[in-house]
Amino acid sequence: MSATRAQGVGFRSERGPILIALMLATGLVAIDSTIVATAVPSIVRDIGGFESFPWLFSAYLLAQAVSVPIYGKLSDMVGRKPIILAGIGLFLLGSVLCGIAWSMPALIAFRALQGLGAGAVLPVSITIAGDIYSLEERAKVQGYLASVWAVSSVVGPSLGGIFAAVGFWRGIFLVNIPLCLLAGWMLVRTLHENVERAKHRVDYAGAALLAASLGLLILGALEGGHGWAWNSPVSLGIFAVGGILLALFLVVERRAVEPVLPSWVVSRRLLGTTALVSFGVGAVMIGLTSYVPTFLEGALASSPLVAGLALAALTLGWPISASQAGRFYLRIGFKATALIGISITVAGLAVLAFTAAAPSVALVAASCFVVGLGLGLVATPTLIAAQSSVSWNERGVVTSTNMFARSIGSALGVAVFGAVANAIYGGTAGGDSNGPAVVAASGAVFVAALAAGVLTVAAVLAMPAVRAATKDAGGEGSGGSGEPVLTDAEDSSR
């Protein structure tokens, strides 16, 4: 496979238009993750369905999470370009349909369609970046892509609030139309691939079983304790059927010629440990993004805007450190860089957890910024190490597995943190409307997030000590063949 190549990173380089297109595509997913929540009251007033509105988020997340591994495998088989364009197309169609939705069930169904598009856009964008940029350049590129989330954390809620204020909530979906068209047009014009055509045997049975099993298990984690009790027949049945389907999936994959999720993705030591790190990153992120706003609004009566800006410090710190991660991993290696990052993350979480009893907007924002700095030095080098340990025709499934692990970490984090918070709310008069109860519950969640951070330290310590080659002989950005570029023999053989 070959792609547009040039030296330098930035908008004015030869690859700049591709980078802009990838940032636009990433922005679709990033803005969508924050813009909808602010318009929920307007949506409910217009089309009803208050009791069902949480599914606007669950359906989207479910569809996105279960489709990520499948898209990753397909991108290795047929190329990145058709898969990301298909994802943008699905997201565009879902956005248009959401904009004309006539009822809450219809809107939920169309949100799921958006999620199927997002499941292709995000991991394939990151995979393309790994293809066209050299090992030395990838950290800077990840900083560019991460900065999209920082901007979206402010732009998303602001746009949602504006559309809600003028009584046109449908605009939060229709605004995606020009962005989708522009991103798709730029990718068609600028991204060129020469994929070796070969006859593939698509693992339809494995894909169906994977989607069904993971869908049920994630659904059980997301809705347990909210939609139904953990020990209810519904909850137990969902987990039981999901577990059975997952077992069947493992059996099918052992016999598949081209399995949708090959066993080597988790059996190789580097890939398995980096997936565990990504799992921990997802759990930490969801703990903060879900409870920092609630904590500040409930404990200090802060406005949603102030609470949102305090949380935005998390997504501000991430791109700053992500863009500089290359300086570290090229000198001291991926594992050492990730250890520095997770140490910073744990320090920020510790401050947040142990000062929750004396809430302060400034302190919370500073803690979130520190956590973001740490996560940028964890997520970026571990992802790049995983990508760099495999050749082009394996990079898609490796990237998508890493992103999927983060989604699973977030889903289980929601379940665990929700159970921790609800246990405190349930034993307090007034529940989540009681200020002291909010402080206690949020503090407990932050302690749980700290525990997740500490466990992630163990995953980082288990990584093999691989280092980047002096020259990225395999990165597409340097004109190589896309072969592994790590110097330690442990990188892909264990």
Mean pLDDT of 292-306: 79
Q: Do residues 165 and 274 share a domain?
A: no
Question: What pLDDT, in 10s, does the model give residues 199-208?
Answer: 767 788 888 8
Instruction: Show the domain range for 47.
Output: 7-196
Final residue of a domain: which of 196, 222, 242?
A: 196
Query: Comparing C-alpha atoms, which of 168, 59, 174 is closest to residue 118?
Result: 59
| pLDDT of 480 | 38
**pLDDT confidence of residue 430:** 60
* pLDDT score at 221: 77
CATH number of the structural domain spanning residue 397? 1.20.1250.20
pLDDT for 484 beyond 80: no
7 pLDDT band, cuts 50/70/90, is low
11, pLDDT greater than 80: no
Predicted confidence (pLDDT) at residue 1 exceeds the cutoff of 60: no
Out of 181, 196, 211, a domain closes at 196
For the cut 50, the answer to whether the pLDDT of residue 475 exceeds it is no
Q: Which residue has the higher pLDDT, 8 or 214?
A: 214
Those residues whose C-beta lies under 8 Å from the C-beta of residue 423, and which sit 6 or more positions away, are: none
Say which residue, 26 or 33, is predicted with more confidence.
26
- What is the band of 4 on the pLDDT scale with cuts at 50, 70, 90? very low
Residues with Cβ < 8 Å from 311, sequence gap 6 or more? 153, 288, 289, 292, 293, 368
pLDDT in tens, 80-93: 999 999 999 999 99
**Does residue 294 sit within a domain?**
yes
Kindly report the pTM of this predicted structure: 0.84
Instruction: Using pLDDT thresholds of 50, 70 and 90, give the confidence band for residue 490.
Output: very low
Distance CA 467, CA 270 (A): 12
Give pLDDT tens digits for 77-129: 888 999 999 999 999 999 999 999 999 999 999 999 999 999 999 999 999 98
pLDDT of 258-282, one tens digit each? 888 888 888 889 999 999 999 999 9
* Same domain, yes or no: 147 and 294: no
Give a yes or no: residue 64 inside a domain: yes
Please check whether residue 211 lies inside any domain of the structure: no
Number of domains making up the chain: 2
| Closest C-alpha to 155, from 323, 313, 312 | 312
Does 86 map to a domain? Answer: yes
Average pLDDT over the chain reads: 84
User: Considering only CA atoms, which of 360, 401, 331 is closest in space to residue 123?
Assistant: 401
Q: Is pLDDT above 80 for 235?
A: yes
198 falls in which pLDDT band (50, 70, 90)? low
Q: What is the pLDDT of residue 423?
A: 80
Same domain as 271, residue 191: no
Whether 403 and 70 have beta carbons less than 8 Å apart is answered as no
CB 79 within 8 A of CB 192: no
190 and 265 co-located in one domain: no
- Mean pLDDT in residue range 462-480: 57
pLDDT score, position 347: 96
- What is the DSSP code (8-state) at residue 84? H
Q: Are residues 272 and 185 in the same domain?
A: no
Would you place residue 482 in the very low, low, confident or very high pLDDT band (cuts 50, 70, 90)? low
What CA–CA distances, in Å, run from 156 to 101, 309, 382, 437? Answer: 21, 12, 28, 29
Q: Do 328 and 452 fall into the same domain?
A: yes
Q: Which of 108-122, 151-165, 237-251, 420-434 has the lowest mean pLDDT?
A: 420-434
Angle at which helices 135-165 and 104-132 cross, to 10°:
160
pLDDT of 114 reads 95
Same domain, 192 and 302: no
Is 142 found in the same domain as 16? yes
- Within-domain flag for 248: no
> Would residue 431 count as lying in a domain?
yes
For 341, what's the count of Cα atoms within 13 Å in the CB-facing half-sphere? 37
Which of 196, 226, 250 represents a domain boundary (last residue)?
196
Any domain includes 234: no
pLDDT in tens, 277-298: 999 999 998 888 878 887 887 7
Largest CA distance in the chain: 65
Same domain for 332 and 427, yes or no, is: yes
For residue 342, name the pLDDT band (cuts at 50, 70, 90). very high
Q: Are residues 269 and 155 in the same domain?
A: no
125 and 15 in a single domain? The answer is yes
Name the more confident of 120 and 359: 120
**Same domain as 426, residue 314:** yes
What pLDDT is stored for residue 344 in this prediction?
Answer: 97
Answer yes or no: are the C-beta atoms of 281 and 406 closer than 8 Å.
Answer: yes
- Assess if residue 229 is contained within a domain: no
Long-range pairs for 90-95 at CB < 8 Å and ≥24 separation? Answer: 90/114, 90/116, 90/117, 90/120, 91/28, 91/29, 91/117, 91/118, 91/121, 91/176, 91/180, 92/117, 92/176, 92/177, 92/180, 92/181, 92/184, 93/117, 95/173, 95/174, 95/176, 95/177, 95/180
